[in-house]
């Protein structure tokens, strides 16, 4: 059974870099034709796609976040990671990792992790 689990600091200071990792279990990232994506949801608000990475490292980013986002994959650890630089309070959100069919539907999701940006 495929499972995804987000991990990383729950509190980040303004202007610093948010870093999260998603660990995939029950499925091999390296053997798949799927991409691996990140989605966020500010408290009480809707969903925003951040970007995705393939098992070969090809990336696709939301144009509105592209200048601040980096998504990488580590197939040896069956993990992929998100870095978001120069964060502000507006980046406070629950961050989800998910399996994505190309830049398409997201069919398996992690439980999500709340990241608060505050000094």
Partner 1 sequence: DIQMTQSPSTLSASVGDRVTITCRASQSLSIWLAWYQQKPGKAPKLLISKASTLESGVPSRFSGSGSGTEFTLTISGLQPDDFATYYCQQYNSFATFGQGTKLEIK
- Binding to partner 1 by CB under 8 A, coded x per residue (else -) over 71-110, reads -------------------------x-x-xxxxxxxx-xx
Q: What is the DSSP letter of 58?
A: -
| 47 lies in the binding site for partner 1 (CB under 8 A) | yes
| Contact call for residues 24 and 30 (beta carbons, < 8 A) | no
Q: How far is the CB of 64 from partner 1 (least distance, A)?
A: 8
* Pairwise CA distance, residues 71 & 52, whole Å: 7
| 57 lies in the binding site for partner 1 (CB under 8 A) | no
- Helices marked H in the chain: none
* Pairwise CA distance, residues 29 & 115, whole Å: 25
Where do contacts with partner 1 occur on this chain (CB under 8 A)?
Answer: 37, 39, 46-49, 60, 62-64, 96, 98, 100-107, 109-112
């Amino acid at each position: 059974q495929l499972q995804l689990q987000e991990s990383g600091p729950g509190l980040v200071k303004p202007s610093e870099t948010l870093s999260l990792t998603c660990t995939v279990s029950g499925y091999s990232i390296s053997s798949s034709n799927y991409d691996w994506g990140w989605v966020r949801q500010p408290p009480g608000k809707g969903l925003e796609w951040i970007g995705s990475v393939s098992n070969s490292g090809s990336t696709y980013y939301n144009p509105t976040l592209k200048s601040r986002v980096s998504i990488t994959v580590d197939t040896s650890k069956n993990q992929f990671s998100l870095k978001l630089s120069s964060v502000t309070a507006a980046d406070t959100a629950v961050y989800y990792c998910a399996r994505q069919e190309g830049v398409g539907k997201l069919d398996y999701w992690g439980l999500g992790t709340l990241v608060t940006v505050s000094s």
